[in-house]
């Protein structure tokens, strides 16, 4: 199986996430894309995310009816910081015959060398870099070590610029998020009164 791994806070998942996953599925000929919500993101404050159950529920609502999209709770079942390399190692150990593809925004390539064990990540999975918003794909891997750059595959998608931070801010200010997230996710956020008291 050609398996795409798409990690993130997904707080909330939005249409930009879904478009990225779909374009990667199509252009990389992936059999499945796994959405992997983080438990403890390396660069966020502990406890800064919505409850795990709410983020999983929003993900499942968003991908309903798309059998190629799967929600994986692999990181939620661990208590440690959600390092990408650890997640890929676990998936590789459990599914040794699958070909793994790590889906990231092209803007993340600049920081990729600072990730935990980037060389190992590149050995475990092909890196799929996707332009987001107005970001360009012009030589995004130019500053990477050649051994890493050779493992990067580029995917283009329409320039949709949607930020989960902005969505949380809009909800906290009583503004609409219609057409920025799936309708089912919008209704879930309203029913659960998520993001009402925070803009971060």
pLDDT digits (tens, 9 = 90+) for 59-69: 999 999 999 99
Q: For residue 11, give the CATH number of its domain.
A: 3.40.50.620
Does 169 map to a domain?
no
> Is 191 domain-assigned?
no
Q: Is residue 83 part of a domain?
A: yes
Q: Is residue 166 part of a domain?
A: no
Kindly state the average pLDDT of the residues 182-197: 96
Is residue 7 a part of any domain in this protein?
Answer: yes
Please tell me the predicted confidence (pLDDT) of residue 199: 47
| Contact predicate 20/26, CB 8 Å | no
In a domain, 146, yes or no: yes
pLDDT tens-place string over residues 109-150 = 888 989 999 999 999 999 999 986 555 555 555 567 776 777
11-65 pLDDT, tens digit each: 999 999 999 999 999 999 999 999 999 998 887 665 689 999 999 999 999 999 9
Domains: count for the chain: 1
| 165 pLDDT above the threshold of 90 | yes
Residue 181 counted as domain residue: no
In-domain check, residue 68: yes
Return the pLDDT at 109.
85
pLDDT at 124: 97
pTM of the model: 0.91
Provide, rounded to the nearest whole percent, the portion of the chain with pLDDT above 90.
72
Q: What is the mean pLDDT of the chain?
A: 90
pLDDT tier for residue 101 given thresholds of 50, 70 and 90: very high
* pLDDT given at position 145: 74
> Could you tell me the residue range of the domain that residue 59 belongs to?
2-161
pLDDT at residue 108, rounded to an integer: 85
């Amino acid at each position: 199986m050609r398996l795409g791994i798409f990690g993130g806070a997904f707080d909330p998942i939005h249409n930009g996430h879904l478009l990225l996953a779909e374009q990667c599925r199509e252009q990389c000929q992936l059999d499945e894309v796994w959405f992997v919500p983080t438990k403890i993101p390396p660069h966020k404050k502990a406890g800064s995310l919505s409850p795990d159950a709410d983020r999983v529920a929003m993900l499942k609502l968003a991908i309903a009816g798309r059998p190629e999209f799967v929600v994986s709770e692999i990181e939620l079942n661990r208590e440690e910081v959600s390092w990408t390399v650890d997640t890929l190692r676990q998936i590789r150990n459990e599914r040794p015959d699958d070909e793994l593809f790590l889906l990231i925004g092209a803007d993340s390539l600049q920081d990729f060398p600072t990730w935990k064990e980037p060389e190992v990540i590149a050995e475990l999975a092909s890196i799929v870099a996707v332009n987001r918003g107005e970001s360009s794909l012009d030589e995004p891997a130019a500053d990477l070590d050649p051994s890493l750059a050779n493992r990067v595959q580029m995917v283009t998608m329409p320039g949709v610029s949607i930020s989960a931070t902005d969505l949380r801010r809009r909800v906290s200010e009583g503004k609409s998020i219609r057409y920025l997230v799936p309708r089912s996710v919008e209704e879930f956020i309203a029913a659960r009164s998520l993001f009402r008291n925070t803009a971060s």
